């Protein structure tokens, strides 16, 4: 967070819903703060400007940043909180976004957004936005990101609701944490909790992440996030090239990753350079439907060309099906050096897969420690999400130190990473 903040003594605009005035105040100091978001929207901020919103303030209007209001990589426009108390809060109507960003190089810190259709909406004109340290609650979609080059860090997105939920078939949507429709995006250290809601069409709907769009999304990096009680970790409905999902903790989820391939009439999506590595998955043991990895094709068991995926060095607890229709990728679905634990017994794994209690690891020795009866022993040790979460701080997967698999090319690292 510190790397995104301006200097404490930087000149800034100030907005205070409790003590500010729109008439007579110039907004250039806490003592002369403006009162409303409407007054801030009427001003034109420029590269290098800082906007500080008073803690304890609450507004019921959309904060808008227009295309003319753009920073540069060296001089972004930064919005942050000041003072003491609760985070500055924007509550909007159910059909509006709380914050709508159309400019470039905009940084948003410390806000609380609630009850809107969308928390942060990034328009097609937006570039290189940073959203960090925000709380987004009771919205239909937490972050809806068009444009390119965005970074989403350390946000708390939780308790989402449906945007549309009607008895008519096929029109329900909502309860999505982060939706990406552009390229060169990174999401890390976010908490996505209760991204799930009842649906007429699907029983439940929602999810932590989703990508979709008509073009090809490139260089998406999703790492070190917590997804707890979500409908699925990620649904993909578009072409993807270079997607890395690593070091995430996914617990109490209904599903995992769902790839739409040619199941939608007139569409044929491909997914290349997809890597799912070093994640911990503890699927909701009460859910008897779906799978951790789902490849949706028009014909079950038919191999489709053009897609590939590596699944490696993960710990996965599953009560039912690990994959649905993996034949869609055929030999281009590489899965090795994973630890599987099936709560219902599951199936006997192949020679390169290990199925056992995932807590029977010795991270200090950087190697697995099998049960005496061998890796195919049917285990009955209860494993709870809290125990798995406790292990996250301990587990450091060796990747190359132990396993004799080839080192892949480095994933996309955006400019947001230190």
Number of separate domains in the chain? 1
Structure-token pair, residue 29: 């100091």
- Give a yes or no: residue 31 inside a domain: no
Residue 10 has pLDDT above 90, yes or no: no
284 vs 242, residue with greater confidence:
242
Structure-token pair, residue 176: 């999505």
Residue 380 has pLDDT above 90, yes or no: no
Give residue 379's domain range: 140-392
pLDDT band at residue 352, thresholds of 50, 70 and 90? very low
Query: According to the model, what pLDDT value does residue 388 have?
Result: 52
- Give a yes or no: residue 121 inside a domain: no
Q: Which of 219-223, 288-292, 333-337, 344-348 has the lowest mean pLDDT?
A: 344-348
Q: Let me know the angle formed at the C-alpha of 162 by 156 and 165, rounded to the nearest 5 degrees.
A: 175
Cα–Cα distance list, 76 to 46, 118, 125 (Å): 9, 23, 16
- Give a yes or no: residue 243 inside a domain: yes
Query: According to the model, what pLDDT value does residue 358 have?
Result: 47
Residue 370 has pLDDT above 90, yes or no: no
**Total residues belonging to the chain:** 418
- Distance, CA of 164 to CA of 173 (rounded, Å): 5
Please state the rounded mean pLDDT for residues 271-286.
92
- Give a yes or no: residue 208 inside a domain: yes
Query: According to the model, what pLDDT value does residue 212 have?
Result: 87
- Give a yes or no: residue 239 inside a domain: yes
Residue 410 has pLDDT above 50, yes or no: no
- Distance, CA of 1 to CA of 132 (rounded, Å): 7
pLDDT band at residue 202, thresholds of 50, 70 and 90? confident
C-alpha Rg value of the chain to the nearest Å: 23
Q: What are phi and psi of 368, to 5 degrees?
A: -80, 150
Query: According to the model, what pLDDT value does residue 214 have?
Result: 83
Cα–Cα distance list, 12 to 133, 178, 300, 375, 408 (Å): 20, 30, 58, 61, 45
- Give a yes or no: residue 285 inside a domain: yes
Q: Which of 150-154, 214-218, 319-323, 406-410 has the lowest mean pLDDT?
A: 406-410
- Distance, CA of 193 to CA of 326 (rounded, Å): 28
> Which DSSP string corresponds to 294-309?
EEE-SSTT---SS--E
Q: Which of 2-6, 183-187, 310-314, 404-408 has the lowest mean pLDDT?
A: 404-408
Residue 171 has pLDDT above 90, yes or no: no
- Give a yes or no: residue 226 inside a domain: yes
Q: How confident is the prediction for the chain on average, in pLDDT?
A: 84
Please state the rounded mean pLDDT for residues 345-357.
50
- Distance, CA of 244 to CA of 234 (rounded, Å): 12
**What digits encode the pLDDT tens for the residues 280-305?**
999 877 777 778 999 999 888 889 99
Q: Which of 45-49, 109-113, 230-234, 372-376 has the lowest mean pLDDT?
A: 372-376
- Give a yes or no: residue 381 inside a domain: yes
């Amino acid at each position: 967070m510190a790397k995104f903040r301006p200097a404490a003594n930087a000149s800034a605009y100030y907005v205070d819903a409790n003590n500010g005035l729109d008439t007579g105040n110039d907004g250039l100091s806490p003592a002369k703060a403006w009162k409303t978001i409407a007054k801030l929207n009427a001003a034109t901020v420029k590269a290098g400007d800082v906007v500080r919103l008073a803690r304890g303030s609450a507004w019921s209007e959309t904060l808008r940043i227009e295309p003319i209001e753009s920073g540069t990589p060296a001089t972004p426009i930064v919005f942050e909180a000041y003072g003491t108390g609760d985070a500055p809060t924007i509550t909007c109507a159910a059909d509006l976004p709380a914050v709508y960003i159309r400019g470039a190089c905009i940084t948003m810190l410390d806000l609380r957004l609630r009850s809107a259709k969308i928390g942060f909406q990034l328009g097609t004109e937006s570039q290189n936005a940073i959203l960090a340290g925000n709380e987004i609650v009771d919205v239909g979609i937490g972050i809806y990101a068009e444009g390119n080059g965005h970074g989403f860090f350390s946000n708390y997105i939780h308790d989402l609701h449906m945007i549309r939920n009607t008895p008519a078939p096929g029109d329900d949507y909502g309860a999505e944490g982060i939706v990406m429709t552009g390229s060169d995006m990174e999401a890390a250290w976010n908490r996505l909790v209760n991204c799930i809601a009842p649906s007429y069409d699907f029983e439940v709907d929602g999810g932590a992440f989703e990508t979709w769009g008509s073009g090809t999304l490139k260089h998406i990096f999703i790492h070190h996030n917590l997804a707890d009680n979500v409908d699925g970790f990620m649904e993909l409905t578009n072409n993807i090239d270079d997607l890395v999902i690593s070091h995430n903790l996914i617990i109490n989820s209904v599903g995992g990753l769902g790839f739409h391939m040619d199941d939608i009439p007139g569409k044929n999506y491909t997914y290349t350079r997809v890597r799912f590595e070093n994640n911990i998955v503890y699927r909701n043991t009460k859910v008897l439907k779906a799978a951790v990895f789902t490849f949706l094709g028009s014909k079950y068991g038919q191999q489709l060309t053009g897609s590939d995926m590596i699944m490696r060095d993960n710990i996965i607890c599953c009560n039912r099906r690990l994959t649905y229709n993996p034949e869609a990728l055929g030999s281009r679905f590489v899965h090795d050096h994973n630890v599987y634990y099936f709560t219902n017994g599951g199936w006997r794994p192949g020679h390169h897969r290990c199925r056992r209690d995932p807590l029977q690891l010795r991270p200090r020795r950087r190697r697995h420690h099998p049960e005496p009866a061998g890796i195919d022993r049917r285990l009955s040790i209860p494993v709870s999400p809290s125990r798995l979460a406790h292990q996250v701080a301990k587990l450091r997967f060796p990747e190359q130190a132990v396993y004799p698999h080839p080192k892949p090319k480095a994933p996309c690292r955006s400019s947001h990473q230190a």
